[in-house]
Amino acid sequence: MLESEFKKKFCARLKKEVKPLAILQYQQSATTLSGFPDTIVILEGITIYIEFKKSKTAKYRPGQKEWLKKLNDNGHFAFACHPDNADDILEEIKRIA
């Protein structure tokens, strides 16, 4: 499954099961932060950052792991989500919400 297909299906589940205020897709460009997670989920009082991967062995681009660590180390919720851990990530988001 392509990463874009997986992301679309996961976000549809998220909308149905968690009902976030917004799901924002972060697009990389020359003026954006390199490696920043590609999806931002806004809940009541909580922001969650998700980096989608097509598989658990998919490679990370420069800065992606560092951003996930930096966000988590500073009290945010940031996840690398792939088909093998999608159910666990969704359950964690439900717990956080």
- Per-domain residue ranges for the chain? 3-96
How far is 36 from 21, CA to CA, in rounded Å? 21
| pLDDT tens digits, one per residue of 9-30 | 999 999 999 999 999 998 877 7
Candidate CATH numbers 3.30.360.10, 3.40.1350.10, 2.40.40.20, 3.30.1370.60; the one for domain 3-96 = 3.40.1350.10
pLDDT < 50: residue spans in the chain:
none
Q: Write down the pLDDT at residue 66.
A: 97
SS3 category, 40: strand
pTM of the model: 0.93
